[in-house]
Amino acid sequence: MANYTGPKVKLSRRVGVPIADNPKHTSRQLTPPGMHGYRGRRLRDYGVRLNEKQKLRYHYNVLERQFRHYLEKASHAKGNTGEVLLTLLERRLDNVIRRLGYARTIWAARQMVAHGHILVNGVKTDRPSFSVSVGDQISIKKDKVRELVRENLESLPGHEVPSWLSFAPSDLTASVVAEPTTDQVPFDVNMNLIVEFYR
């Protein structure tokens, strides 16, 4: 299945939480899709775990196959599988662009990376799934995109860059100063339920 290109608010309504920090998602009541907000049956254990997994997938805009790949990688790493999984997803380049405020949503961040506007350590990187490491330098390639980024930063009053990233607003450069931790992720999700879903 290809990447989802339909209405994004529908995804937020489907899982019951805003998956993007955007007024379209946060300002409206997230009733289930349908004319009258379909009131289905109460979710069973499987449905609860599936919903948590979909929340995380939609928030990071990854396909099921990619998500399983990240989970498998996390399960072979040292430490808590859920925490490692969240760290791997948080280090994706498109997510880093979103966290810096260069783009307002994960979809806009993905497009910015895919179109080759982002440099990592001075090299054009057009893979949204690229995993950044501590010490990596992130910058913008063209002046036109710089103007767009400044507009996006101005349209996000009160936006806070997480402490694991260092950001210089004057020249719009950033660097990764530490590994992200679960308490620095501004999205509430139960990782234990997601790991249980695949067992």
Task: Write the CB contacts of 133 (distance below 8 Å, at least 6 apart in sequence).
Answer: 91, 176
Q: What SS3 class is residue 189?
A: coil
The full set of domains in the chain, from first to last, is 8-89+188-197 (1.10.1050.10), 92-178 (3.10.290.10)
The rounded distance, in Å, linking the Cα atoms of 192 and 16 is: 19
Best CA proximity match to 129, nearest among 104, 112, 101, 110: 110
- Give the angle subtended at the CA of 158 by the CAs of 152 and 159, to the nearest 5°: 55
pLDDT of residue 183: 87
Task: Give pLDDT tens digits for 109-162.
Answer: 999 999 999 999 999 999 999 999 999 999 998 888 899 999 888 887 778 899
CB count within 10 Å of CB 138 equals: 23
pLDDT of residue 13: 80
pLDDT of residue 132: 95
Q: Are the beta carbons of 43 and 62 closer than 8 angstroms?
A: no
DSSP letter (8 states) at residue 138: E
pLDDT of residue 32: 65
Task: Write the CB contacts of 136 (distance below 8 Å, at least 6 apart in sequence).
Answer: 120, 121, 175, 176
Print pLDDT tens along the chain (199 aa): 467 788 888 888 888 788 877 766 666 666 666 666 566 667 788 989 999 999 999 999 999 999 999 999 999 999 999 999 999 999 999 999 999 999 988 999 999 999 999 999 999 999 999 999 999 999 998 888 899 999 888 887 778 899 999 999 888 999 999 999 988 888 888 999 999 998 8
pLDDT of residue 27: 62
pLDDT of residue 35: 67
Helix (H) or strand (E) holding 190: none
Helix (H) or strand (E) holding 175: strand 173-176
pLDDT of residue 30: 67
